């Protein structure tokens, strides 16, 4: 279902929905679920802290990981 508001509108949730979709696609094999809420919390935290922020390349950052982008930014600041 497409978003009902225009891009840039503070009530537009298309980016958040895309983020959740990516998380579910990359973290869960098709058709599976976590055994418990605690398992889900641990797996999501591990995914975000390790793969998503350290290794996964993001097109908005010039196909660099957030960690690489941050390190390059720090090295260019006076």
Three-state DSSP state, 64: strand
User: Confidence band (pLDDT; 50, 70, 90) for 72?
Assistant: very high
Between 14-27 and 37-46, two packed helices, what is the crossing angle to 10 degrees?
100
Q: Output the six-digit token pair for 9.
A: 């509108």
pLDDT reported for residue 12: 66
Residue 5 is predicted with a pLDDT of 61
CA atoms within 13 A on the CB side of 57: 4
DSSP 61: G
pTM for this prediction: 0.59
List, for residues 17-71, the tens digit of each pLDDT value: 888 888 888 888 777 888 999 999 999 999 888 887 788 888 888 999 888 999 9
């Amino acid at each position: 279902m497409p978003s009902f508001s225009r891009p840039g509108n503070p009530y537009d949730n298309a980016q958040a929905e895309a983020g959740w979709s990516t998380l579910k696609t990359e973290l869960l094999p098709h058709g599976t679920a976590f055994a418990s809420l605690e398992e889900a919390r641990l797996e999501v935290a591990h995914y975000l802290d390790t793969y998503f922020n350290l290794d996964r390349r993001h097109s908005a950052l010039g196909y660099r990981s957030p960690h690489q982008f941050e390190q390059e930014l720090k090295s260019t600041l006076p």
